[in-house]
Amino acid sequence: MFDGGLTMSFHKVICPSVVGYLSKIRTHCRTRPNPSFAVQMSSTLVQTDENGDHYESKKISSSPSAQLKSQPQSSLLSQENTVGIIGGVSVLPTLIFLEKLVWWSSRNGEECVPFVVCSDPALDGSDQPVHSPLSEIAENEVNHEHVIVHSLKQKRVFLEKSGARCIVMPCHISNAWYDEISECCTLPFFHIGECVARELKEAKLKPLDAGSNVRVGVLAACETGVVAYEEKLQNQGFEVVLPDKATVEHILMPVIESLNQRDVEGARNLLRIAIQVLLIRAVNVVILASEDLQNLLPREDPLLKKCMDPMDALARTTIKWAKSAKQIHKKT
């Protein structure tokens, strides 16, 4: 459980809208109540025009006593360990990551890691007519992908100009385009799949089947969500195990359908089956590579001991970097 009483500076940046998105990976953001997350928030809302320039800055506070120091228009934050966070196609994983980043970096009485967030919920839209010819749909999907990557790259550049000293992207889908988004970036830019693969490598896991490599299962709500992990895990010598077609169609997709119908218990039972299917195939750990699957099972569920939340690995990597950057700055 988390302790309350923490005051956090939260910078949310609204970027230019992006129209359109691949309909097959559209998800609905649901509210998951967390009564322990009693954080007093001070928020600076920075609007940007189509060129990414600041044109308005407002102070928003949930506490009358909360105060923010004004920042120069050229840079929101100037700390040497400022983290720049690119919001993904859904706001939920960004919020989950922020909760971990704030509490884990300050739970020993230390100051919270400074950060600035750039989030654009318009990425979760779709304007593709269902009656369009297949060739037209394919062409539009390519165009949508190009627009999304361009938008995410603009966010990265905006964060660099805002004072960020490293970049993270807490979104399973967005990391599938990591190479394009990180092109020409001179800052440390952590890939969520690499963070997961590195932690699993450091854990020195032993194969469950003699003569084979360590097997890692990956569960995602869509094929795009798998891309961020498969290659990175294989590069570290792991054998990646994915659910077969029948499991995807008859178990995983019904999980999402159950959640959309607010049948949480039904979704939980289906997810348990999907995890068991991979465990039967001798995987050491199952990566839950979708915000729809994370935080679905209750914390006391024994199956969670066999699962890994990628946001945990990304948060730990980010905090480790932030503490190291702060120490280096002190020495110099």
Average pLDDT over the chain reads 77
Judged by DSSP in three states, 252 sits in helix
pTM of the entire predicted model: 0.75
pLDDT band at 22 (very low <50, low <70, confident <90, very high): very low
* Boundaries of every domain in the chain: 83-191+313-330, 196-309
Residue 102: pLDDT above 80?
Answer: yes
Architecture of the domain spanning 196-309: 3-Layer(aba) Sandwich (3.40)
| Residue 298 pLDDT | 94
**CA distance readout (Å), 68 to 54, 61, 73, 152:** 18, 9, 14, 28
**C-beta neighbour count of 130 within 10 angstroms:** 6
| φ/ψ of residue 42, rounded to 5 | -110, 130
Using an 8 Å Cβ cutoff, are 214 and 238 in contact?
Answer: yes
Q: Decide whether 83-191+313-330 matches 196-309 in CATH topology.
A: yes
State which fold the 83-191+313-330 domain adopts. Rossmann fold (3.40.50)
CA atoms of 147 and 123, how far apart (whole Å): 9
Residue 62: pLDDT above 50?
Answer: no
Instruction: Give the tens place of pLDDT for each residue, 298-328.
Output: 999 999 999 999 999 999 999 999 999 988 8
Identify the bridge partners of residue 242 per DSSP, sorted by sequence position: none
Residues 6+ apart with CB under 8 A from 293: 219, 220, 221, 255, 271
